[in-house]
Amino acid sequence: MINISIKPNDRQKLFFLSDCRYVLYGGARGGGKSWAVRKKAMLLGINYPGIKMLIIRRTFPELETNHITPLKEELNGIAKYKERNKTFYFNENQGKQSIIVAGYCATDSDVLQYQGQEYDVLFIDEATQLTEYQFNTLKAVVRGVNDFPKRTYLTANPGGPGHNWVKRLFIDRLFYPNENPEDYTFIPAKAQDNYALMEAQPDYIDQLKSLPEDLRRAWLDGDWDVYAGQFFTEFDRNIHVIKPFVIPPDWQRYCTMDYGLDMFAAYWIAVDQNGREYVYKEIHKPNMVVSEAAKYLKSVDDPETLIYFAPPDMWSRRNDTGRSVAEIFSDFGIYLSRAKADRHTGWIDMKEHLHPGFDEMGNKVAGLRIFENCKNLIHDIPLAQFDETDPDDMAKEPHDITHSLDAIRYFCTGRKIPLLSEKNEDEEEFGSELESFLSYGG
Reported residue count of the chain is 442
Query: What residue type is 196 in one-letter code?
Result: A
> 345-348, long-range: CB within 8 Å, 24+ apart, which pairs?
345/413, 345/414, 346/409, 346/410, 346/412, 346/413, 347/231, 347/392, 347/393, 347/394, 347/409, 348/392
Establish whether the linkage from the previous residue to 212 is cis, with ω within 30° of 0.
Answer: no
Q: pLDDT value at position 94?
A: 60
Q: Which residues pair with residue 263 across a beta bridge?
A: 260
The answer to whether 72 and 78 have CB atoms below 8 angstroms apart is no
Query: Residue 359: what pLDDT?
Result: 80
CA 330/CA 324 separation, integer angstroms: 10
Tens place of pLDDT per residue across the chain (442 aa): 555 667 888 999 999 999 999 999 998 888 889 999 999 999 999 989 999 999 999 999 999 999 999 999 999 989 999 999 999 999 765 668 999 999 999 988 999 999 899 999 999 999 999 999 999 999 999 999 999 999 999 999 888 888 889 999 999 999 988 999 999 999 999 888 787 888 888 888 888 888 777 778 887 888 888 876 789 989 999 999 999 999 999 999 999 999 999 999 999 999 999 899 999 999 999 999 999 999 999 999 999 999 999 999 999 987 777 899 999 999 999 999 999 989 999 999 999 999 998 887 888 889 999 999 999 999 999 989 888 889 899 999 888 899 999 999 999 998 888 777 666 655 444 444 433 333 333 3
Residue closest to 79 by CA, chosen among 67, 91, 97: 91
Q: Do residues 218 and 26 lie in contact, with contact meaning Cβ atoms separated by under 8 Å?
A: no
Q: What is the model's pLDDT at position 96?
A: 84
**Domains and their CATH numbers in the chain:** 10-219 (3.40.50.300), 239-412 (3.30.420.280)
Angle at 27 (CA atoms; ends 23, 30), nearest 5 degrees: 110
What pLDDT shows up at residue 407? 98
Position 210 scores a pLDDT of 86
pLDDT at 440: 34
State if pTM tops 0.75.
no
